[in-house]
Amino acid sequence: MDLVAFLVDITGNLNELNLKLQGQKNSVCDLMKTARSFQMKLDIFKEDLQGECEHFPQKREQIQGERDISPYVGFIDKLIGNFCQRFDGFNLGHQLLLLIENPFLIREIRGFSKEVTQTFKWAHPGSLQLELTDLQADVSLRAHFERTDSATLWLQIVPEMMFPGLTKVALHTLTMFGSTYSCETAFSTMNIIKTKYCSRLTNEHLHMSMRMALTPFKPRFKLLVGQSHAHFSH
Q: What is the per-residue pLDDT across 139-195, written as a single tens digit (0 to 9) for each?
A: 888 888 878 888 888 888 999 999 999 999 999 888 887 667 777 788 888 888 888
* Closest to 41 in 3D by CA, of 60, 16, 68: 16
Domain ranges of the chain: 2-87, 94-174, 181-215
Segment 103-150, tens digit of pLDDT: 998 999 999 999 899 888 999 999 999 999 999 998 888 888 878 888
Distance CA 121, CA 147 (A): 32
Among 164, 188, 159, 155, residue whose Cα is nearest residue 27 = 155
Measure the CA–CA gap between 42 and 37, rounded to whole angstroms.
9
pLDDT at 136: 92
| DSSP letter (8 states) at residue 120 | -
Most confident of 66-70, 170-174, 226-230: 170-174
d(Cα 1, Cα 201) in Å, to the nearest integer? 54
Q: At what angle do helices 70-87 and 2-20 cross, to 10 degrees?
A: 20
> E strand or H helix at 119, and its extent?
helix 109-119
Task: Give percent of the chain with pLDDT exceeding 70.
Answer: 94
From start to end of 173-219, where are the E strands? none
Chain Cα centroid distance, residue 106: 21
Summary count for the chain: helices (H), strands (E): 13, 0
Position 134 scores a pLDDT of 94
More reliable by pLDDT, 69 or 168:
168
Sign of the C-alpha dihedral, residues 98, 102, 105, 109? positive
pTM for the whole structure: 0.69
Exposure string over 111-150, b if 16+ CB within 10 A, otherwise e: ebbebbeeebeebebeebbebbeebbebeebeeebeeeeb
Q: What is the pLDDT of residue 60?
A: 81
CA distances from 170 to 49, 140, 227 (A): 40, 19, 39
Task: Compute the distance between CA of residue 125 and CA of residue 213 in angstroms, rounded to an integer.
Answer: 43
pLDDT digits (tens, 9 = 90+) for 25-58: 778 888 888 888 999 999 999 998 888 888 888 8
Long-range contacts of 141-149 (CB under 8 A, 24+ apart): 142/104, 145/102, 145/103, 145/104
